[in-house]
């Protein structure tokens, strides 16, 4: 039976931290679905189509990755695709409480689905989408913070806002 993991997030934009976790998880599962959350609750810098394109370009070297978009509960999507695992990245201690709460809620809603936490590498644990947008707004170096294919669109987008 094919083992599928789902890695949900807003990916606005995808960072090198996200990419690292996806690469590492891709070695553990037959298929990893990068699930881009389409949430009306969040104000995004990039459209859902742009985020999907940037994720796709950033991960084009990985052959067992699929990119999907979903509105609604992640567990509903996970069930629909036949996955049993939700992957979440854990950067710092401050992420732990949020991830524990989300994991507990998902477990209550879907006891058959496990949440697996993957620790960020020390060289990426401080990177967040919010942080890289701030660096870009203030013309800082994006080297090592986002995949190469994200740099130009990010710089252009923050100039326009």
By 3-state DSSP, what share of the chain in percent is helix, strand and coil, each rounded to 5?
A: 45, 20, 40
Q: Is 108 a catalytic residue?
A: no
Of 51, 52, 91, 133, the catalytic one is: 91
Question: Does 139 qualify as catalytic in the annotation?
Answer: no
Q: How far apart are CA 148 and CA 151, in angstroms?
A: 6
Active-site pick, 26, 51, 129, 133: 129
Catalytic residue selected from 18, 51, 52, 133: 18
Catalytic residue among 2, 27, 42, 63: 42
Q: What are phi and psi of 35, to 5 degrees?
A: -100, 110
61 is catalytic: no
Return all residues near 15 (Cβ < 8 A) that are at least 6 apart.
124, 127, 128, 129, 132, 145, 146, 147
| Known catalytic residue at 43 | no
Which are the catalytic amino acids? 18, 42, 91, 129
């Amino acid at each position: 039976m094919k083992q599928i993991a789902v890695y949900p997030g807003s990916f606005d934009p995808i960072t090198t931290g996200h990419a690292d976790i996806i690469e590492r998880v891709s070695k553990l599962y037959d298929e990893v679905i990068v699930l881009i959350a389409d949430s009306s609750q969040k104000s995004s810098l990039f459209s859902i189509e742009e985020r999907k394109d940037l994720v796709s370009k950033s991960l084009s070297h990985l052959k067992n990755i699929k990119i999907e978009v979903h509105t609604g509960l992640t567990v509903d999507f996970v069930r629909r695709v036949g996955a049993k695992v939700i992957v979440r990245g854990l950067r710092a201690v401050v992420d732990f409480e949020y991830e524990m709460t989300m994991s507990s809620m998902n477990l209550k809603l879907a006891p058959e689905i496990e949440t697996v936490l993957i620790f960020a590498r020390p060289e990426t644990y401080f990177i967040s989408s919010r942080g890289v947008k701030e660096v870009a707004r203030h013309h800082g170096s994006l080297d090592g913070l986002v995949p190469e294919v994200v740099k130009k669109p990010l710089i252009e987008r923050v100039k326009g806002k």
